[in-house]
Structure 1
Amino acid sequence: MANPGVEAVRGRLERAARAGLDPAAYAHESLSVLGRAVPFDAACHGSLDPGTGLITGSTKVALPSDHDVEFLAHEYVTDEVNLFVDLARRPRPVGVLVDDTGGDPNRSTRYRDLLTTRYGLQHELRAALVVGGAAWATLALYRQGSRGFSASEADLVAAIAPVLALGARAAVAAGAAQRLRQAPPAASAAAAASAASAAAAGGWQAGEGGAPGVLVVDSAGRVVQSTTTAEHLVAELGGAVHGELPIAVVATIAAARAPARRGRLLQARARVRTRTGRWLVVHGAALADHAGDRRHVVVTIKQAGPPEVVPVVVAALGLSARERDVVAGVLRGASTAEIAAALHLSPYTVQDHLKSVFDKAGVSSRRELVAKVFFDQYAPRLGGALSPSGWFAPPSAP
Structure 2
Amino acid sequence: MTVSAERVRTQIDGLATAGLDWPTFGAAAIETLRTALPFSAACLATVDPATELVTATVKWGDVDDDHDLEWAYYEYEVDDVYDFRRVCRKPGGVAALGAETQGDPARSRRWAEMFRPIWDYSDELRAGLSADGATWGGIALFHQGGRTFTLAEQEFVSSVAAGFARGLRAGLVAGAVGLTDVGDDAPAVLVMGADDEVVQANPGAEARIADLGGGPLGDARLPQVVCALIGAARRRASDPTAAVPRARLRSRSGRWVVAHASPLVGRGDRRSDVVVTLEDARPPEVIPLVVASYGLTDREREVVGLVLAGVDTADVARRLHLSAYTVQDHLKKIFNKVGVRSRRELIARVYSDHYAPRLVEGGALAPSGWFAGCATRT
Q: What residue ranges of structure 1 are gaps of 5+ in the alignment?
A: 188-205, 376-398
Within 5 A, what are the aligned runs for 1:1-398? 5-62=4-61, 63-173=63-173, 175=174, 178-180=175-177, 182=178, 208=184, 211-239=186-214, 240-243=216-219, 244-258=221-235, 264-289=241-266, 293-328=270-305, 330-333=307-310, 343-346=322-325, 350=328, 353-363=330-340, 366-373=343-350
Measure, in 1, the Cα distance between the counterparts of 2:266 and 2:154. 47
Contact kept? 2:76, 2:235, Cα under 8 Å: yes
Moved more, 278-287 or 314-323: 314-323
SS in structure 1 of the partner of residue 324 of structure 2:
coil
Contact kept? 1:98, 1:105, Cα under 8 Å: yes
Contact kept? 1:79, 1:108, Cα under 8 Å: no
Measure, in 2, the Cα distance between the counterparts of 1:56 and 1:318. 20
Q: Tell me the TM-score normalised to structure 2 length.
A: 0.82
Moved more, 323-332 or 97-106: 323-332
Contact kept? 2:257, 2:281, Cα under 8 Å: yes
Contact kept? 1:207, 1:213, Cα under 8 Å: no
* Letter matched to residue 334 of structure 2: V
Q: What's 2:361 paired with?
A: none
SS in structure 2 of the partner of residue 179 of structure 1:
coil
Measure, in 2, the Cα distance between the counterparts of 1:10 and 1:303. 36
Contact kept? 1:207, 1:302, Cα under 8 Å: no
Measure, in 2, the Cα distance between the counterparts of 1:220 and 1:68. 14
SS in structure 1 of the partner of residue 39 of structure 2:
coil
Q: What's 2:376 paired with?
A: none
Q: 1:223 Cα shift?
A: 0.5
SS in structure 2 of the partner of residue 220 of structure 1:
coil
Q: Which digits, 9 at most, give the CA deviation of each residue in 1:268-322, with x for residues without a partner? A: 1111111111111111111114668552111111111123212222222121244
Measure, in 2, the Cα distance between the counterparts of 1:262 and 1:339. 43
Contact kept? 1:26, 1:168, Cα under 8 Å: yes
* Letter matched to residue 219 of structure 1: A
Measure, in 1, the Cα distance between the counterparts of 2:34 and 2:266. 49
Measure, in 2, the Cα distance between the counterparts of 1:111 and 1:241. 29
Contact kept? 2:229, 2:261, Cα under 8 Å: yes
Is the alpha carbon distance of 1:292 and 1:77 closer, same or farther for their aligned partners in structure 2, counting shifts above 3 Å? closer
Q: What residue ranges of structure 2 are gaps of 5+ in the alignment?
A: 353-378
* Letter matched to residue 145 of structure 2: G
Measure, in 1, the Cα distance between the counterparts of 2:228 and 2:76. 8
Q: Tell me the TM-score normalised to structure 1 length.
A: 0.78
Q: What's 2:362 paired with?
A: none
Is the alpha carbon distance of 1:360 and 1:241 closer, same or farther for their aligned partners in structure 2, counting shifts above 3 Å? farther
Contact kept? 1:286, 1:294, Cα under 8 Å: no
Q: 1:128 Cα shift?
A: 0.9
Q: 1:325 Cα shift?
A: 4.9
* Letter matched to residue 223 of structure 2: P
SS in structure 2 of the partner of residue 51 of structure 1:
coil
Is the alpha carbon distance of 1:361 and 1:242 closer, same or farther for their aligned partners in structure 2, counting shifts above 3 Å? farther
Contact kept? 1:288, 1:294, Cα under 8 Å: no
Contact kept? 1:283, 1:301, Cα under 8 Å: yes
Measure, in 2, the Cα distance between the counterparts of 1:325 and 1:49. 21
Measure, in 1, the Cα distance between the counterparts of 2:101 and 2:317. 57
Identical positions, percent: 41
Contact kept? 2:248, 2:256, Cα under 8 Å: yes
Measure, in 2, the Cα distance between the counterparts of 1:365 and 1:354. 9
Q: Which digits, 9 at most, give the CA deviation of each residue in 1:342-393, with x for residues without a partner? A: 953349x72x644432342345554443234359xxxxxxxxxxxxxxxxxx
* Letter matched to residue 39 of structure 1: P
Measure, in 1, the Cα distance between the counterparts of 2:96 and 2:347. 43
Contact kept? 2:313, 2:324, Cα under 8 Å: no
Measure, in 2, the Cα distance between the counterparts of 1:105 and 1:215. 36
